[in-house]
């Protein structure tokens, strides 16, 4: 299975690329600027300290076309423009949206949530892609980039996954648990992402208040 990370040169995308490449998965880093994608690939190889051949660079469109599962890792202000650029390359695929509507995306603070008309960022994606043969899942938005790029340590955070297609969620659950330390939690339907996305600004607030970078969330009793 090829994992295409659209917007993969940002902190979150780079962290996921790093973890999945280390796990031996085939990874394609996508970007609007293919040179930035190549730079990100080289950075991953340097961080892993090995010349691996399971990671490559492409434009966002080519990455989405080649990937079997697509991870969207862009800030809110780039979400719709990026989706417009790749929407014709998603036929029959799973799109995992990690977008979080933070106020910092519109010039405010990262510890506040922006309320969207559709209810959540991932529901906005699903609404935009309605009628296309693509399954939209919410995942990876509560795992900090700092934890992902801290490659020598396990990630101490559960991955909260929401979606309306149970089979697609199983695929994303298996994928997320390839990251050492991550346990995937099935959080039910896509509308539950309205709650899950709001956890991210809380974790950012905890990081700032406690002068740390690796705050995560664990669900107990399961």
DSSP state of 102: B
Q: Is residue 218 part of a domain?
A: no
**Mean per-residue pLDDT of the chain:** 96
The CATH number assigned to the domain holding 38 equals 3.40.50.720
CA–CA separation, 103 and 130 (whole Å):
26
140 CB contacts (<8 Å, ≥6 apart)?
12, 16, 71, 73, 96, 98, 159, 176
- Four-residue CA torsion sign, 133, 189, 98, 145: negative
CA–CA separation, 186 and 31 (whole Å):
29
Q: Is residue 144 part of a domain?
A: yes
pLDDT at res. 64: 98
The arithmetic mean of pLDDT across residues 194-204, rounded, is 96
Banded model confidence at residue 51, pLDDT cuts 50, 70, 90: confident
Q: Is residue 222 part of a domain?
A: no
Domains held by the chain: number: 1
Q: Is residue 220 part of a domain?
A: no
Q: Is residue 168 part of a domain?
A: yes
**Is residue 181 over pLDDT 90?**
yes
Q: Is residue 221 part of a domain?
A: no
Q: 138: helix, coil or strand?
A: strand
Q: Is residue 215 part of a domain?
A: no
Residues making up the chain, counted from first to last: 222
Each residue of 94-131: pLDDT tens digit? 999 999 999 898 889 899 989 999 999 999 999 999 99
Each residue of 155-176: pLDDT tens digit? 999 999 999 999 999 999 999 9
Residues spanned by the domain of 12: 2-210
Which two three-digit tokens encode residue 27?
């990874």
pLDDT at res. 106: 85
Q: Is residue 121 part of a domain?
A: yes
């Amino acid at each position: 299975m090829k994992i295409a990370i659209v917007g993969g040169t940002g902190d979150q995308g780079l962290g996921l690329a790093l973890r999945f490449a280390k796990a031996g998965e085939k990874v394609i880093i996508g970007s609007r600027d293919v040179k930035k994608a190549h730079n990100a690939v080289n950075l991953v190889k340097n961080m892993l300290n090995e010349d691996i051949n399971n990671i490559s660079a492409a434009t966002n469109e080519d990455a989405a076309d080649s990937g079997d599962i697509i991870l969207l890792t862009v800030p809110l202000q780039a979400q719709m423009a990026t989706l417009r650029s790749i929407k014709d390359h998603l036929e029959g695929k799973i799109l995992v949206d990690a977008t979080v509507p933070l106020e910092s995306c519109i010039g405010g603070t990262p510890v506040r949530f922006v309320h969207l008309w559709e209810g959540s960022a991932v529901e906005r994606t699903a609404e935009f892609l309605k009628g296309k043969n693509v399954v939209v899942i919410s995942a990876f938005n509560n795992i900090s980039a700092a934890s992902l790029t801290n490659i020598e340590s396990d990630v101490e955070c559960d991955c909260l996954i929401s979606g309306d297609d149970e089979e697609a969620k199983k695929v994303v659950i298996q994928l997320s648990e390839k990251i050492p330390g991550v346990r995937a939690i099935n959080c039910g339907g896509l509308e539950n992402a309205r709650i899950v996305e709001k956890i991210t600004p809380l974790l950012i607030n905890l990081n700032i208040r406690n002068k740390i970078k690796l705050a995560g969330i664990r669900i107990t009793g399961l």
